[in-house]
Amino acid sequence: MFIDIPNELETDLIDRPLPPWELDGSFLAQSSMEEYRTELAATPRFEEIAATLRHALTGEGGGYAVLRLGNLAKALSGVRFQRLVTGFAAEVAVPFSPFPRWPLWKDIGVKVDKDPGKSSGIGYNAFHMDLVNGTRPPDYTTLLCVRPDPLGGGTSILSDAHAAVMRLSEDSRALLTELAYHYGTFFDLYGVGEEYKPFPILDGSDLDEGFVRFTAKMLTRSELSPPHAEAARELADELVRGQVSFMLQPGDYLIVNQRRVLHGREALHSGQETIAVSDRRLLLQLFLRARADDGSAA
């Protein structure tokens, strides 16, 4: 699931600046996607890497990928690098921002006084999907590592949601299909449908048809009936049992297919308050909507 960029492609990409992108509402404009595609498709082996990436995300047993772009991150300015990563993202699906007040890419820094279990908090960020309480969560969530935790914490964790569900009893699975779960607030969001409250964790008997609409954060932050809470806890345990973990390096671009894989992050190392804000861990986040014609959209 780690994809390296061949040297010849890196060299060519460094000499091929992409123009600024344009937005159409909260989505990357079609014209920008076409411009990027034309430029990138002219580089050696780009099509092959893009196909490998799509296969890793949607092929049998797949669901996430890490593109290793560290050499490109070093060679290019921040703006040029971001355009290039946006170009790679657009090979998978359509980049968009659900947050009207944020640019396309959203910073995830480190805030020592924020709820530790939430985005940009310093604690354990439990298994979840992003925008879980929209009727149409983003098909993909992506995280670009600018700087890892200088103290060595913050390992990324991923788990195959379908495999975790299949290890549960039928009774637990039945509870997960009920409209009995809720989490968080829903305010001023674009491109992710309506608020879904309460929602079922499983959409139906066929796992391939929907999301495993889950966040382990609901176990401590939402009031659930005891049997529903128990079924959700079993799922959370199975996700941990099946987890893989790795440390994102500078320039690593993690793409997660939210229809297959749930993500989270281990706690940052203690002592974050001793680190200057500008030296702390920094990720950039971008969401993607599957194209209607590629079979992975519902």
Binding site for ligand AKG (CB under 6 A): 108, 119, 125, 130, 143, 156, 263, 265, 283
Q: How far is the CB of 11 from ligand AKG (least distance, A)?
A: 30
Total residues at interface with Fe ion (CB under 5 A): 1
Q: What are phi and psi of 16, to 5 degrees?
A: -130, 80
Radius of gyration over every alpha carbon of the chain, rounded to an integer in angstroms? 19
Is 59 exposed, middle or buried, given 0-12, 13-18 or 19+ CB atoms closer than 10 A? exposed
Q: How far is the CB of 263 from Fe ion (least distance, A)?
A: 6
Helix (H) or strand (E) holding 119: none
Which CB atom, from 265 or from 280, has the smaller least distance to ligand AKG?
Answer: 265
Q: How far is the CB of 156 from ligand AKG (least distance, A)?
A: 5
Q: 283 contacts which partner out of Fe ion, ligand AKG, none, CB within 5 to 8 A by kind?
A: ligand AKG
Binding of Fe ion by 160 (CB under 5 A): no
Closest-CA residue to 140 (of 196, 86, 201, 95): 95
Which CB atom, from 94 or from 157, has the smaller least distance to Fe ion?
Answer: 157
Which CB atom, from 130 or from 149, has the smaller least distance to Fe ion?
Answer: 130
Neighbours of 210 (CB within 10 A): 14
Q: How far is the CB of 7 from ligand AKG (least distance, A)?
A: 29
Binding of Fe ion by 139 (CB under 5 A): no
Alpha-carbon span 161 to 167, nearest angstrom:
10
Residue 241: which residues within 8 A CB-CB, separation 6 or more?
164, 167
Is 205 exposed, middle or buried, given 0-12, 13-18 or 19+ CB atoms closer than 10 A? exposed
Amino acid at 169: S
Q: 108 contacts which partner out of ligand AKG, Fe ion, none, CB within 5 to 8 A by kind?
A: ligand AKG
Q: 58 contacts which partner out of ligand AKG, Fe ion, none, CB within 5 to 8 A by kind?
A: none
Which CB atom, from 80 or from 106, has the smaller least distance to ligand AKG?
Answer: 106
User: Cα–Cα distances in Å, from 8 out to 40, 72, 141, 286?
Assistant: 13, 12, 28, 27
Which CB atom, from 130 or from 252, has the smaller least distance to Fe ion?
Answer: 130
Q: How far is the CB of 1 from ligand AKG (least distance, A)?
A: 16
Which CB atom, from 91 or from 130, has the smaller least distance to Fe ion?
Answer: 130
Tokens read off for 176:
């997960």
Contact indicator for 194, 184 with CB cutoff of 8 Å: no
Whose CB is nearest to Fe ion? 130
Which CB atom, from 32 or from 120, has the smaller least distance to Fe ion?
Answer: 120
Which CB atom, from 91 or from 130, has the smaller least distance to ligand AKG?
Answer: 130
Where b means 16+ CB within 10 Å and e means fewer, 100-136 reads: eeeebbbebbbbbeeeebebbbbeebbbbbbbbbbeb
- Looking at residue 94, the DSSP 8-state letter turns out to be E
Q: How far is the CB of 157 from ligand AKG (least distance, A)?
A: 9
Binding of Fe ion by 91 (CB under 5 A): no
Neighbours of 82 (CB within 10 A): 20
Q: How far is the CB of 66 from ligand AKG (least distance, A)?
A: 12
Can you tell me which of 130, 160, 234, 238 binds Fe ion, judged by CB under 5 A? 130
Q: How far is the CB of 128 from ligand AKG (least distance, A)?
A: 7
Whose CB is nearest to ligand AKG? 119
List residues binding Fe ion (CB under 5 A): 130
